[in-house]
Structure 1
């Protein structure tokens, strides 16, 4: 039986946003007439967190989480595991705060993400997972390093403070929607372990409760959607493949699951072909470079599985950390 997990209050989310915004930039809220025409929606807004520092929303939660360390913990440093975007966000936050960061990354994480993480001053340790789930092997190595080097062990998504920090994306979007005299009927947001959608869903739950939240996951990695449907955390089987390297967690974290259970969510899945088309559409129509994981939410909108006719839609495009060669490879046949 899962122990009760702290779910951040609205005041907690606002406090985290006030702090994290000292180290982040406001990402724009783009309105697309093209997407509205293509989908039948009344209005479509896209929030490109791909334009955030370190190329994704992750720096929001990472900075807030590092600010919660004791002076002694901050001096010794932290260790975490990540396939890429949390690695870069945490490394950038650590660099800004002068906190040493060690990141354990799967050996098959994109080279561009590994290089960027090291570029922010983090120590990168690679793990070879073989036939095992890559996040499990990386997590084991991170725990080992934490014990050996007396470092604070941080989780990339299963932490109420990470959830609170990532909520800044939602709070910021709500402020921007209000300026445009709009409110979202539907929101599409991708899910890996659930840290982002946990925070964003809470922000909308508190401030825009009529917004329907759609969590987007790759086929074969829909752990959050399955868990929400069944009322308990479930682990997806090994063997799935996806170009969305940042969304390949086999099960959601307890903290994001608790947040989503309170805020409410409907699950939707996308396949690689849809993601490739979304990446191409974002580039050609929105002038945005999105990595596969960052384009999954847009793919869900364009797939047409969810009826958005006459509705106002918000799409959170979560990241843009993709090399030129990989971007061209993914979109060549889209």
Structure 2
């Protein structure tokens, strides 16, 4: 995240490298850096003759090298961008010779998504020496919440922590999907707005009351009435709230409660860093730890694993999906 910003800052300052190898499991930052290069290295009138965008499945490394060796026409530089470059993985070593002596008048960009070069290999070392090797890593859930807050702050918005958590629960850690939803909210709501759970519910369609975040909060507080109300909503809306996903999130939640029990330092900041959650939610884990001793947590995790097996049809369980969830809640709360 910070490295992607640094790359863009360097380009703005005129520190432009001849090769940018953008790789890794999080496509969002790869796309943002490549998009900035595509839209800002050349003036608009220079792009027709000096900017080339190709796709890995439609080209070869020798062809890309041939493009990179061309000289710009009536411009200081040319830009060559290879999107979906992971399709060239088997032959990417053929880039080594060019990377050892790249043209200073070419900016060559590889978008190598969901894969990465072996850092021990010569090709990686040569590119890093003469250009930029950027690894875009997936963010943890708590990092995604922080990222949402930073993105919105830069656009003169803020967001309630619960609302941010709702987005992560609904969309996962896919930054591209989250970014699209944030863009919609920015178009609908006036600048300076604090985005609330109500705004998320009204404009994105995520229920502020019936979601896994509220379910885990109710279970942690041993609020049986609320927990069963949410459970019934999940049973009535199986496509929106599939049991397998619910069980996975319950497992993650109670695993964090167990982890909290094991912390020697239970200060808010340290607990947040170890549990990889926003500080705002530490109080919920403190409450859950009070309500569920370590032995009970071990029992709950065992029952969640059993429910997971049943939900996948292993052992030919006669229970319906909704009954599996009800049984699990009963085991947790009793």
Same fold per TM (> 0.5)? no
TM-score normalised to structure 2 length: 0.28
More contact order relative to length (CA 8 Å, sep ≥ 6): 1
Q: Which is richer in strand?
A: 1
Structure with a larger share of its residues in helix:
2
Highest CA radius of gyration, 1 or 2? Answer: 2
